[in-house]
Homo-oligomer: A and B are copies of this chain.
Amino acid sequence: MTSHLGCELCEQIESPAWVLVHREADLRVIRVLDAPEFPAFYRVIWNEHVAELSDLSEPQRARCMAAVVAVERVLRDALQPTKINLAALGNMVPHLHWHVIARFDWDAHFPQPIWGPRQRTPEPSAAERLARDWAALDIQVQQAVATALATLSNGQPS
């Protein structure tokens, strides 16, 4: 595996800024803790230091996107969000990672991207509205991703 000196996604597996939800050889999934207005915010991080989706082989890309879709499905089922936002930007950290964010029409930035202008300060807060056992949701995400990838390894469509 290619690791890149000074890349925080190569060097940091554990951090107070996230919960490590799932980890396997080629990718890992975290739940983001440092964006409190968006509590249903996961990231799928490709473990190897590559910058772009097109740096992956087709089977790698299929695994990466299967993980993204597995996270998305759990968020849709559990939270019925207004929309899921997916993004692979990496302008700050050019190491392939996907943001998977459940968005709600009442959230602080909707319908703008979370990086866009603030629209409102929700009252009650996102944490209050979405209050739940996040560790239990993490387990659902973990199981969904593991199952999706195991199925894919067997050559079956997810």
A residues touching B (Cβ–Cβ < 8 Å)? 51-54, 57-59, 61-62, 65, 68-69, 72-73, 76, 82-92, 94, 103, 110-113, 115-116, 157-158
Contact = CB atoms under 8 A, between A and B. Distances in A.
A62 B89 CA distance: 20
Copies of this chain in its oligomeric complex: 2
Contact of A83 (B61, B85, B94): B94
Nearest to A151: B58
A41 to B, nearest CB: 14
B94 A89 contact: no
Nearest to A113: B115
A59 B157 contact: yes
A147 to B, nearest CB: 14
